[in-house]
Amino acid sequence: MTITIKKCTHEDLYQLQELSYQTFNETFKDQNTPEAMEAYLEKAYNLKQLDKEIANISSQFYFIFFNNEVAGYLKVNINDAQSEEMGDESLEVERIYIKKQFHKHGLGKVLLNKAAEIALECSKKKIWLGVWERNENAIAFYMKMGYVQTGAHSFFMGEEEQTDFIMTKSLQ
């Protein structure tokens, strides 16, 4: 079993889009309307939007590979790229997705550890993320990894407003 991580570049744009569509659909399509899914996917994962995000110096994307096959990805934000005003001492894990076929191989843990490593390199004191209140498996995983719920915010899936728990982990 070989696990590797690679930072994404503009050359990875199409693969990132394909992976984003696949993992988001696998994670959320059964709990949302097709219309809401389509609206969100088009807004969040169109090539122009992803290109803009990759170009932002305060955001970073990483692919994770399992036995040389892309298995998922991570997106982290610092400074003004964070999706919520959380301050200069915070790093946001905005996206962390693993293809369904690669679940239960410890890849999520590897990516969260990568996020913590990046946070420490950037002299950040805490990591935070938003997780849908109905995503019980993810919430349990984040709690196991040392995150605690510290708030909530709205997340829009198309026109539908949903609630994400904000979970935070101190690096002190």
Contact by Cβ (8 Å): 76, 94? yes
pLDDT band at 159 (very low <50, low <70, confident <90, very high): confident
- What pLDDT is attached to residue 163? 95
**Cα–Cα dist 33/58, whole Å:** 33
Q: How many CB atoms lie within 10 A of CB 16?
A: 24
Ramachandran angles phi, psi of 89, nearest 5°: -95, 10
**Quick one: what percent of the chain has pLDDT higher than 70?**
100
pTM above 0.75, yes or no: yes
142 catalytic residue (yes or no)? yes
CATH of domain 3-124: 3.40.630.30
Q: Is the pLDDT of residue 160 over 90?
A: no
Stretch 140-168: mean pLDDT: 93
Give me the catalytic one of 40, 73, 142, 147: 142
Q: Is the pLDDT of residue 172 over 80?
A: no
Predicted local confidence at residue 60, as pLDDT: 98
pLDDT in tens, 28-62: 999 999 999 999 999 999 999 999 999 999 999 99
Domain-wise residue ranges, the chain: 3-124
Please tell me the distance from the alpha carbon of residue 152 to that of residue 160, in angstroms, as a whole number: 16
Contacts of 130 (CB under 8 A, 6+ apart): 83, 84, 94, 153, 155, 164, 165, 166, 167
CA distances from 6 to 33, 47, 71, 111, 113 (A): 33, 20, 12, 11, 14
According to DSSP, the β-strands at 90-98 and 126-132 are parallel
Q: Of 28-42, 110-124, 147-161, where does the model show the most confidence?
A: 110-124
Is 164's pLDDT higher than 90? Answer: yes
Task: Quote the mean pLDDT of the chain.
Answer: 95
Token duo for residue 164 = 């994400």
Instruction: Please report the pLDDT score of residue 129 as a whole number.
Output: 98
Q: How far is CA 57 from the centre of its chain?
A: 17
Q: Which two tokens stand for residue 100?
A: 């369904």
Reported as half-sphere exposure (CB side, CA atoms, 13 A), residue 118 has a value of: 24
Q: Of all helices (H) and strands (E), which one includes residue 164?
A: strand 160-170
